[in-house]
Amino acid sequence: MLLGSYADDLREAILRIKRPGSEHLAWSLAALLVEKQQPALEAIGVDGVVPVPMHWWRRAWRGTSDADEVARVLARAIGVGVVPALVRARATRMQNELPPEERGDNVAGAFRVRGDIVGRRLLLVDDVVTTGATLAACCHALREAGAASVHAAALAKADRMADAADHGERP
């Protein structure tokens, strides 16, 4: 489930929430996502919200995690808790620095599950989806650890053609 396309004002807002002091904007975007996707959120019936984790040093460098902020709002809105079930077991290159065909390998095996999630129905949350490689790697780790189901939500979906053009690549 998505709020919109990673373009124009939504792109600018997402870039802003990646910096400290923009939590209010992250909360507003998450609230808009909940409003737009309320029927879908109710239909899937999750019992926990899992943010896509950053590596500890990247979070320390940035000072915030927009996925964490969005997950908090989504969890509160649907009446469940945030489940910090994933950790980034190794540092990876930023996905937006890589061509789409290398992103899956970049995050393969990068996530580990902590805690017991057996039988849980989870909503995995990230800010932007481009190729889906990060969500797929996280989902794989959660399912391997026994999650009954894993659904995904993001604020925006990037257009792979525009993303390739931003990196001087041929789409």
88 with 60: CB under 8 angstroms? no
With bands split at pLDDT 50, 70 and 90, how would you rate the model's confidence at 171?
Answer: very low
The confidence score (pLDDT) of residue 140 equals: 97
Nearest residue to 119 (alpha-carbon basis) of 153, 143, 84: 143
Question: Phi-psi category of 167—alpha, beta or left, where left has phi over 0 and alpha has psi -120 to 50?
Answer: alpha
Model confidence over 42-51: pLDDT tens digits? 899 999 999 9
Model confidence over 28-85: pLDDT tens digits? 999 999 999 999 998 999 999 999 998 666 666 666 678 898 999 899 989 999 999 9
In 3-state terms the chain splits into helix, strand, coil percentages (rounded to 5) of 50, 20, 30
Q: Which fold has domain 2-166?
A: Rossmann fold (3.40.50)
With bands split at pLDDT 50, 70 and 90, how would you rate the model's confidence at 19?
Answer: confident
Q: Return all residues near 159 (Cβ < 8 A) that are at least 6 apart.
A: 5, 6, 7
Is pTM, for the whole model, over 0.75?
yes
Tokens of 161: 């053609």
